[in-house]
Amino acid sequence: MRFNLFARVLIGVALGFPLSLLAQEPSPRSNEHRVALVIGNSSYAHSPLKNPVNDARAMRDKLKKMDFDVIIRENMKARDIGGALREFRSKLKPGSIALFFYAGHGLQIRGENYLPAVDAEISSEEDVPHQSLNVNTVLNTMEDSKAGVNLVLLDACRNNPFTRSFRSGAGAGLARIQAPSGTLIHYATRPGSVAEDGDGVNGTYTAALLAQIEEKGVPIEQALKRVTVRVKNATKGKQEPWMEGSLTGDFYFIISGPTQINIQSAPADADTAAWQAAE
């Protein structure tokens, strides 16, 4: 219990107010500015996917309930990448909670991760940067805005449909990223590995993420560890999500409710009131 709350309780008891009205702490979330960019790419000309648009819509709905201002793009084309980033940047401000969620194909070339547009026509590695969203560009956008907490959730480790067009510089899955300070990156599976699209309405990783962030009072690092356990159990160990980076502060998707002390009547004297409040 914080000191100012303790002091309010003592004063309130002395004045005869019910403690249940005095012991409510303001929600930290009420002061947070939360912004999310959510992208789901399913309708690829080559190797379409079943679940990413469903994943994006479900994540949008969940985040809106958690006070995020959500920008969503479904089946994003190459010409739409710049506009999505500009809108995301325009909503961020110093101290914001910035979240980027992506579901769809992802690929790496020489240690950089790219999220191809659904209309990408990629015949060689040189085509990738011009028709994909570079994950480093998203990170730079967050860092430049001086957001307080940066979260990057990547359900983007399906098989690369363009592998045959690439030289040896392209590896499987996504590459490991050196996360900037104040940034957490969570991959659907280990760097260099491939994730499952899932047999249900949502991808295996996104389904676990959606279920986990409903839990109240769980710090983000612990929540993502629990997502890892859920995915490993669902895939019998074949897929293991991976986390990079660290935060300088605390973040909760849903914090616990206000503290309540349900004592309705005031004690007979101030000394008794002080002892009861201390207990």
DSSP 8-69: HHHHHHHHT--HHHH-PPPPGGGG--EEEEEEE----SSS--SSHHHHHHHHHHHHHHTTEE
* Strand order across the 34-40 sheet: 68-74, 34-40, 97-103, 149-155, 183-187, 242-246
What was the pLDDT predicted at 278? 58
Q: What is the mean pLDDT of residues 18-32?
A: 48
- In one-letter notation, the amino acid at residue 156 is A
pLDDT band at 265 (very low <50, low <70, confident <90, very high): very low
Query: Quick one: pLDDT band at residue 200, thresholds 50, 70, 90?
Result: confident
Residue 7 exposure: Cα atoms within 13 Å on the Cβ side: 3
**pLDDT digit string (tens) for 224-260?**
999 999 999 999 988 999 999 999 888 999 987 544 4
At 209 the pLDDT is: 97
CA 142 to chain centre: 13
Would you state the pLDDT for residue 111? 86
Q: What residues contact 104, with CB distance under 8 A and at least 6 apart?
A: 39, 40, 41, 42, 44, 49, 52, 115, 116, 118, 155, 156, 158
Between residues 187 and 30, which one has the greater pLDDT?
187
Q: Spell out a b/e string for 205-214, using b for 16 or more CB atoms within 10 Å of the CB, else e.
A: bbbbbbebbe
- Indicate the helix (H) or strand (E) that contains 116: strand 112-116
Residue 180's pLDDT is what?
84
Mean pLDDT of all residues in 208-215? 95
Pick from 17-26, 29-38, 205-214, 227-236: least confident: 17-26
- Band of pLDDT at residue 156, cut at 50, 70 and 90: confident
Q: Which H or E run contains 73?
A: strand 68-74
Rounded Cα gap, residues 150 and 135, in angstroms: 13
Both structure tokens of 131: 């028709």
Position 6 scores a pLDDT of 47
Rounded CA-CA distance 186/226 in Å is 12
Residues in the chain: 279
d(CA 41, CA 27): 35
* pLDDT at residue 174, rounded to an integer: 85
Compute the mean pLDDT over every residue in the chain, rounded to the nearest whole number.
Answer: 82
The first and second tokens of residue 155, run together, are: 């359900």
Of the listed ranges 46-50, 212-216, 250-254, the one predicted with least confidence: 46-50
Share of the chain above pLDDT 70, in %: 73
In the predicted structure, residue 83 carries a pLDDT above the cut 70: yes
Q: Is the pLDDT assigned to residue 140 strictly greater than 50?
A: yes
Q: Phi first, then psi: give them for residue 3, nearest 5 degrees.
A: -65, -40
Enclosing H/E stretch for 274 = helix 270-278
Q: What is the pLDDT of residue 195?
A: 66
Q: What pLDDT does 192 receive?
A: 66
- In this prediction, residue 256 carries a pLDDT of 74
* CA distances from residue 276 to 27, 70, 207, 273 in whole angstroms, order as listed: 25, 45, 46, 5
